[in-house]
């Protein structure tokens, strides 16, 4: 959903060095890399290619942009790989992570090693550079906990906050941190390290505490990327499992709008460094799980079969981002509506579900 002539907040500010994207073959990284490469930037991707679908994304970027993208197969748990990757780059976007609460519950140690120690490894590699690059780090709304104190009422097909301020604006950054689940702890630890390295070591950095992101190149699973997961299950004629009652509400943000926010954050780094911002679709782009099923029925022509199961640990019944602070700092606005964004994701998924994954071309990968 690239809009012609869209101001990304960084016009005329192309730094000479390449941009590093850790986890850059993932869903968000692929969309950001494509925008940067299309705009003439050079991009270095560091990815261990462990997640489903990332090899397809990497092959797509290499075929589309050729030598301007460099793919380094490596892991953020390897300090040497990070030192190689950050050498000479002007900006960093740090997306490499263990991304699921459920996985963190099964293996808290690996979750910590990837999310917390991996981020610290990156920050140390950046700090060692003569001119440390600036970093945008993607944290999570899970740093605010399960929000059990938020009084909710069930109205129609969704939960609504009793607090009129929260109902109007969402959850703001003034909300106290309350790490919940090993995933929330590891991402929250990384979140705080990025902010402190900006303060203590003058490594420019900003944190995005993100809500639900969706869009092309997303291979959603039951544990992460639920919007795409629901659509994939419908396209494949498979049942969907809803944990809880389905009235839980999220603000969803189309990935192109997130990319715009990334670029604006880098362009405004002297102003926003050392700050965390809640980023999502905001109150105008909210949806409950059962409302998403209504959209799927309209897009797909039939309603998928749904099975309900118990609530899962750390599930939030309501989370909507108050994005006003970042909007005020950078003039960023969400452009995509829920219906248009879902339509584009559905079309992309329907077109690509049967495509084969080509092997990575010889000579394009640096280990």
Domain ranges of the chain: 19-355
Distance separating alpha carbons of residues 199 and 308, to the nearest angstrom: 46
For strand 152-155 and strand 158-161, is the pairing parallel, antiparallel, or unpaired?
antiparallel
Q: Encoding tokens for residue 121?
A: 């490894």
In total, the chain counts a number of residues equal to: 367
Q: Is 183 an active-site residue?
A: yes
Q: Give residue-wise pLDDT tens across range 108-137.
A: 999 999 999 999 999 999 999 999 999 999
Residue 5 has pLDDT above 60, yes or no: no
Which residue from 244, 254, 130, 123 is spatially nearest to 194, judged by alpha carbons?
123
pLDDT-based confidence at residue 16 (cuts at 50, 70, 90): confident
- Distance separating alpha carbons of residues 211 and 221, to the nearest angstrom: 16
- Give this prediction's pTM: 0.91
Q: What is the mean pLDDT of residues 224-243?
A: 93
pLDDT digits (tens, 9 = 90+) for 141-189: 999 999 999 999 999 999 999 999 999 999 999 999 999 999 999 999 9
Separation CA 281–CA 257 (nearest Å): 9
Please give the pLDDT value at position 221.
78
Token pair listed for 317: 């019944």
Q: What average pLDDT is seen over the chain? A: 91
What is the reported pLDDT for 297? Answer: 96
Q: What is the pLDDT of residues 259-305, one digit of tens each?
A: 999 999 999 999 999 999 999 999 999 999 999 999 999 999 999 99
Least confident of 40-44, 50-54, 162-166, 263-267: 50-54
**Average pLDDT for residues 178-205, to the nearest whole number?**
97
Give me the architecture of the 19-355 domain, per CATH: 3-Layer(aba) Sandwich (3.40)
Q: Of 183, 193, 214, 319, which one is the catalytic site residue?
A: 183
pLDDT at residue number 360: 46
């Amino acid at each position: 959903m690239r809009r012609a002539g869209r101001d990304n907040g960084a016009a005329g500010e192309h730094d000479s060095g390449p941009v590093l994207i850790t986890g850059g073959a993932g869903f968000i990284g692929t969309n950001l890399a494509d925008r940067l490469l299309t705009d003439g930037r050079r991009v270095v991707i560091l990815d261990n290619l462990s997640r489903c679908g990332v090899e397809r994304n990497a092959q797509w970027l290499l075929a589309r942009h050729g030598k301007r993208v460099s793919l380094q197969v490596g892991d953020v748990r390897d300090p040497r790989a990070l030192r190689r990757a950050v050498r000479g780059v002007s900006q960093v976007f740090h997306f490499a992570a263990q991304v699921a609460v459920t996985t963190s519950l099964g293996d808290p140690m690996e979750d910590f090693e990837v999310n917390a120690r991996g981020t610290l490894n990156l920050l140390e590699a950046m700090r060692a550079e003569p001119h440390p690059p600036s970093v945008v780090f993607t944290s999570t709304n899970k740093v605010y906990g399960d929000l059990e104190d938020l009084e909710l009422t069930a109205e129609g097909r969704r939960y609504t906050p009793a607090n009129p301020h929260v109902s109007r604006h969402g959850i703001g950054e003034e909300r106290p941190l309350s790490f919940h689940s090993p995933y929330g702890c590891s991402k929250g630890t990384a979140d705080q390290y990025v902010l402190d390295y900006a303060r203590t070591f003058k490594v420019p950095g900003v944190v995005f505490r993100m809500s639900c992101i969706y869009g092309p190149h997303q291979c959603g699973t039951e544990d992460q990327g639920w919007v795409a997961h629901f659509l994939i299950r419908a396209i494949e004629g498979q049942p969907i499992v809803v944990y809880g009652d389905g009235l839980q509400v999220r603000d969803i943000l189309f990935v192109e709008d997130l990319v715009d926010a990334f670029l604006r954050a880098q362009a405004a780094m002297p102003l926003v460094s050392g700050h965390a911002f809640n980023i999502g679709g905001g109150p105008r782009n909210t949806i409950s799980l059962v409302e998403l099923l209504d959209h799927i029925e309209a897009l797909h022509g039939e309603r998928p079969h749904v099975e309900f199961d118990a609530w899962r640990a750390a599930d939030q019944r309501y989370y909507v981002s108050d994005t006003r602070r970042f909007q005020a700092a950078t003039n960023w606005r969400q452009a995509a509506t829920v219906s248009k964004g879902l339509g584009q994701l559905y079309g992309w998924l329907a077109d690509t579900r049967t495509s084969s994954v080509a092997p990575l071309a010889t000579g394009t990968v640096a280990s």
